[in-house]
Chain A
Amino acid sequence: MEKQEKITILYIDDEVNNLSSFKATFRFDYTILLAQNTEEALDHLNNYNVQIILSDQRMPEITGVEFFEQIRYSHPMTVRLLITGFSDIESVIESINRGHIFRYIKKPWVELDVKSAIEEAYKFYLATALLEEKNTSLQRAYNELSKFAYSVAHDLKGPLVSVRSALRIISDKDDPDERAELINMITASLRNLEGFVDSMYDYYKLNQGELEIEDINLEILAKHYQDIYGLTSKMSNVAFSITTNQTEIFRSDPSKLKIILNNLIENAFKYQQNNIENKFVKVNLAVTSEYAVITVADNGIGIEEQYQHSIFDMFYRATTHALGSGFGLYNTKDAITKLDGTLSVESKPYKGSLFTVKIPTK
């Protein structure tokens, strides 16, 4: 088996001589931690990633088996090996059968026995660790899927139901103004639906495949957003500016960058305050010292402090102000993570928000 890092082994024995001879024998092959009592052992277990623990059976305050029973649930991943003489064999058999111990090593131990037990234990550790990791990621995927199904039922169906209601009402109305109003509602509903479908596709893309790294020209990117949001800015009476400052090459994945910018800018427009003058959305894109720094600032409704840590959760919505899908910032954060970047938010209710994204060049 290929070893990238040394296996970390904790050996616990009340006899100092045993401890030192163990360390002397194995210190080149493994990282060895020593403990003379359970207190010291627990200290090591909590501070280091101990893969294998060996314990002497006969110790003054507690037996090795008893100690293993104690740590079995607090440190389930650590593989437990017991060192014992033949006289204790009954209790050893029982604890092996109860699953407290992976293996036992005869006392006095010989180097070869210990080594082979450690190698076996490490294989077992790797297999269970791998399984554990897979289980965690499966559980995460499963949780997302059930959230997903729940939300799809609501966010995809909701707008369709609205459209159906609106059409039903239209057939009862003759007044052209009222009919026009209803048609506007239908359009708005369909736009919500379209936004949600776009976000779903972003989510899918983010979880697909490798990064595609290209040289990014921030000025071209800025022009793209100027074109898209120029009209929105006029219609919604929100001043929009996007500035750049690029003095060096920046390499990154353009589709992920766009997911980040689309969502942050879209939100800045969406969560404006209704009754104030001089509404604005200000974007700055800069590259310095191998980092791109994106800031998106607005003087919109802001985010209350209690919600600031939750806004990146899937399907979380912090306000009734606009009809968000609760998907946008989740995708944004996911895209930033995939680009090894960081994200911070400063916000005050009814003052505005400032999102700052830092992404290293690839």
Chain B
Amino acid sequence: MNTNVKHHLILIDDNDIDQLLHSKIIEITVPETSIQSFGDATIALNHIKNLGATSNHHTIIFLDIQMPVMNGFQFLEAYHLLPTEVKQLYTIYILSSSVNQHDISKAKNNPYIKDMLIKPLSKDTLTNILR
């Protein structure tokens, strides 16, 4: 493990293949990144809730849209209810294969969404974000 962690990242995607692929691309592109993967958005949300405002670093979240149980937008609704000092610690990007206009405009109008990334995740995009 790299002891020199510069970036912290949370992946929320129910597709375990994509989770692994994204971890690998990140490893290759920005090796000094710590990654936590969640297949279920409810578990990711609990994780963030439990950490609260104790964390001393900023974390980037890559959030998929179409997921069973809790989808990306439902996650954002629940995230909205978290205290501001918790939300300050995170930046959220949508990472989805959706090209659905409705999803895109919904994501763009959400105040917590920094940007919308379309799968596949490219090295350039990653470098730009984690620079």
Tell whether A158 is near chain B: CB-to-CB under 8 Å. yes
Contact A161 B68 (CB under 8 A): no
Given contacts A169-B28, A320-B40, contact A161 B14 (CB under 8 A): no
Contact call B14/A323, Cβ cutoff below 8 A:
yes
For the complex, what is the distance from the CA of A182 to the CA of B99, rounded to whole Å? 26
Residues of chain B lying within 8 A (CB to CB) of residue A323 = 14-16
Q: Chain B 1-39, CB within 8 Å of chain A: the 1/0 string?
A: 000000000000011111011101100100000000001
* Contact among B17, B69, B98 for A154, CB-based, below 8 A: B98
Within 8 A of A (CB), among B43-83: 66-69
A88 on the interface (CB 8 Å rule)?
A: no
Chain A CB within 8 A of B89 CB = no
Q: Which residues of B contact A110 (CB under 8 A)?
A: none
CB pairs A–B below 8 angstroms (12 shown) = A154-B98, A154-B100, A161-B120, A164-B120, A165-B21, A166-B21, A169-B25, A316-B68, A317-B68, A320-B68, A323-B14, A324-B68
* Nearest CB in chain A: distance from B24 CB, A: 5
- Kindly supply a per-residue 1/0 record for chain B positions 96-127, scoring 1 wherever the CB is within 8 Å of any chain A CB and 0 otherwise: 01111000000000000000000111000000
Interface size on A, residues (CB 8 A): 25
With A153-B98, A317-B68, A318-B69 already in contact, the answer to whether A162 and B25 are too (CB < 8 A) is no
With CB as the reference atom, state the residue of chain B lying closest to A189: B17
Majority DSSP secondary structure for residues of B touching A: loop
Minimum CB–CB distance from B18 to chain A (whole Å) comes to: 6
Asked whether A320 lies within 8 Å of B14 as measured between CB atoms, the reply is yes
With contacts A165-B120, A168-B120 taken as known, whether A157 is within 8 angstroms of B21 at the C-beta atoms is: no
The answer to whether A185 and B17 have CB atoms under 8 Å apart is yes
Chain B residues, Cβ within 8 Å of A161: 97, 119-120
Task: Say yes or no: B100 contacts A165, CB within 8 Å.
Answer: no
B30 to chain A, nearest CB (A): 14
Q: Which residues of B contact A317 (CB under 8 A)?
A: 68-69
Please name all residues of chain A whose beta carbon is closer than 8 Å to the beta carbon of B39 when the two chains form the complex.
320
Q: Name which of B25, B68, B100 has the most chain A CB atoms within 10 A of its CB.
A: B68
Among A153, A168, A172, contact of B100 (Cβ-Cβ < 8 Å): A153
Q: Which of A164, A169, A182 has the most CB of B within 10 A?
A: A169
Tell me which residues across on chain A come within 8 A of B28, comparing CB atoms. 169, 172
Assuming the A-B contacts A153-B99, A169-B21, are A318 and B119 also in contact, with contact meaning beta carbons closer than 8 angstroms in the complex?
no
Other 17 A-B pairs with CB < 8 A, given A158-B119, A185-B20, A326-B68? A153-B97, A157-B97, A157-B99, A158-B97, A162-B18, A162-B21, A162-B120, A164-B120, A165-B18, A165-B120, A168-B25, A169-B21, A185-B17, A316-B68, A317-B69, A320-B40, A320-B67
